[in-house]
Amino acid sequence: MITDTSRSTYAKAHMLTSQVAQEGGIIGKRRDSAKNSMIPHLLEIFSDPDSFFHALENFRIAAGESEGEFRGNVYGDGDFYKLLEGMVLFGQDISEYAALIERAQEKDGYISTKQIIASRKGQMVRHADQDDFEEYNFGHLFTLTAAAQRMGQGETLLRVSKKAADYLYNRYLMALRDKKAMSAVCPSHYMGLAELYRLTGEDRYLSALKAALELRKYVLNGTDDNQDEIPLLEQREMRGHAVRATYLYAGVADLCLETGDEALEQVLLSCWDDMVNKKMYITGGLGALYTGASPFGDLINSKRVHQAFGYEYQLPNITAYNETCASLGGIMWASRMFQLFPESRYIDYIERAAYNLAFAAVSPDGNKYFYENMLRRTREVGYFLMWPRERSDTFKCFCCPTNLSRFMAHLPQYAFFTGDDALYTGLYMPCKTHVSLKNGAEFDIEEVTDYPWDGHVSFNIKNWNNTPFRLLARVPAFNGGGFRELDINAPEITFDMTPRLIRAQAKLEENESSVCVMRGPIVYCAEDENLSGLYLPANAEFAEEKADICGETVIRLKTRGWRLSSTPAGLYEEVGETALIEQEISLIPYFEWDNSGFKEMRIWIPVRYDIKKSSNEV
């Protein structure tokens, strides 16, 4: 979701509000797939009155234009808004849907179809259960509106959103007066209210955001799952539901961009460091645990969590949860952190999560999806896992596919960020745009690259008005990090893309004595019928070859390694005469896995080191 911080007092960098034209490369391929396949597929599902999702029909029933009952998920309105956001950003006409949404809205501004439909029969009151996701639905309406306004289709939705935000504003003020505890799950409305404030300039929407966050302090018997057991200002580590956490902190970052609240900035910095240094998967995945008890509880006060952060370094591979929306929330948070603190590490996270999680979560044709994103798949696990272990074209929770559809539409806007007298490069991709800086510099810029397969990036600058500016190229962490100022007369930069072996912190028990192969920002994996007992040499050298996987040209890596001649059949077994057998090992980009039938897959592979004599040996 793009933020317009061009008038935000405390933003030190800004996302471009001008459109970035992008085509070509792997990003172009994935965007084409999203526009031409994913979005039509999702729209068909959401428009089918007989489907489980029933989203469009729910709006028709709420508007009094159709008969029936509410069906589908309580967060279905919000997921439908995300789909529409992707559609409008790809230039598709959504006026028909915007008009229907307006007809469904209550006179006082309230809009959530489950409650509207039920209220006509006296079956339900509003805000009876925070797990009804009402504010979540509101929030995605607001961000849809901001996107639609930028694309010239926001007039109807802006009327709807202002009425809905006024409803929330009045509700929050009354709650503050009464010191009434109030929280919300997956709080997209924090980001939404901030963007509505930026869009309209009306202070009450910023006041609504402040009030919504302040009301959290009155929560009694809060939970790690919803990040409201500990007061917001005291939070220093990532706990609980990963999507709720990243949405929360993204919204807090939005508030800091407008107010410069240093106490909240400290919360953000501490939680961010805890996440990326102790609880993040190498793919950018977030939220290691399935359903269970919070590891931060105790014998007496255990608390339920799901799709949640665990202890420091608790990052299992086979049972990694890593909901797609959590990493997309992480990207939203990272982009706001960069605008607060323009450090390359925040863009590095966006790059890591985009290539290695978001792209892996959807098939190249755009029609099959992962809800959770494991780092290892074995032929059998021997126990029940709640989500399919291969991509599926449909499941009973479509928050992730719709979130992916709008992310793919937004991707080009991550190419550049602006400072007062500088243009920062973000994600590298072939693209072009017009830039206007605060110091008066104006120019057109074209980026030419085949990144991430080739490390060379060059820029063509045209129609420059000669007002001086700095072009600051992000140096990815795998090449040292930071920014390098380029010569405006010959702007280019080249990164070393040599494959490398990555090892994990010793406390990350799952991956001790194992390595992950990366080339540039891309995580690689092995995929084959049987991957038990595989070993890589610590000094592995890789041959690179171009490969076509489902119409996408990628680089495959090959090297020599070993496999154990046998692996245990039971829980424990004597080693016996087990030997290492040399063999070729082929690796593909992780985001291309699960496209050739049901096979085993692993990212982390045990490593065999050379024996080095100690200095005390003769």
- Picking from 176, 326, 330, the residue whose alpha carbon sits closest to that of residue 253 is 330
- Dump pLDDT digits (tens) for 392-451: 888 778 899 999 999 999 999 999 999 999 999 999 999 999 999 999 999 999 999 999
Backbone conformation region of residue 482, classed left if phi is above 0, alpha if psi is from -120 to 50, else beta: left
Task: Please give the DSSP secondary-structure letter assigned to residue 291.
Answer: S
Mean per-residue pLDDT, 516-530: 97
- Dump pLDDT digits (tens) for 447-502: 999 999 999 999 999 999 999 999 999 999 999 999 999 999 999 999 999 999 99
In the block, which residue shows the tokens 């700095």?
470
- Picking from 540, 529, 507, 520, the residue whose alpha carbon sits closest to that of residue 606 is 540
Which pLDDT belongs to residue 615?
66
Domain ranges of the chain: 418-494, 500-608
Which pLDDT belongs to residue 209?
97
Q: What's the CA gap between 119 and 540, in Å, rounded?
A: 65
- Model confidence at 129, pLDDT cuts 50, 70, 90, reads confident
Strand ranges in 429-541 using DSSP code E only, listed in sequence order: 431-436, 442-449, 456-462, 470-474, 483-486, 492-494, 500-503, 514-519, 522-528, 534-537
More confident residue, 612 or 610: 610
- Dump pLDDT digits (tens) for 30-72: 999 999 999 999 999 999 888 888 899 999 999 999 999 999 9
* Edge-to-edge strand list for the sheet holding 483-486: 14-15, 416-418, 422-425, 470-474, 483-486
Helix (H, G, I), strand (E, B) or coil at 427: coil
| 187: preceding bond cis by omega (within 30 degrees) | no
- Dump pLDDT digits (tens) for 227-276: 988 999 999 999 999 999 999 999 999 999 999 999 999 999 999 999 99
Lowest-confidence region among 124-128, 142-146, 272-276, 544-548: 124-128
Q: What's the CA gap between 54 and 50, in Å, rounded?
A: 7
- Residues with Cβ within 8 Å of 11's Cβ and at least 6 positions away in sequence, in order, are 5, 257, 339, 340
The answer to whether the pTM exceeds 0.85 is yes
Residue 612 confidence (pLDDT) above 80:
no
Neighbour count for residue 195 (Cβ, 10 Å): 26
Geometric angle at alpha carbon 426, from 425 and 431, rounded to 5°: 75
Contact 317, 377 (CB under 8 A): no
| Amino acid residing at 176 | L
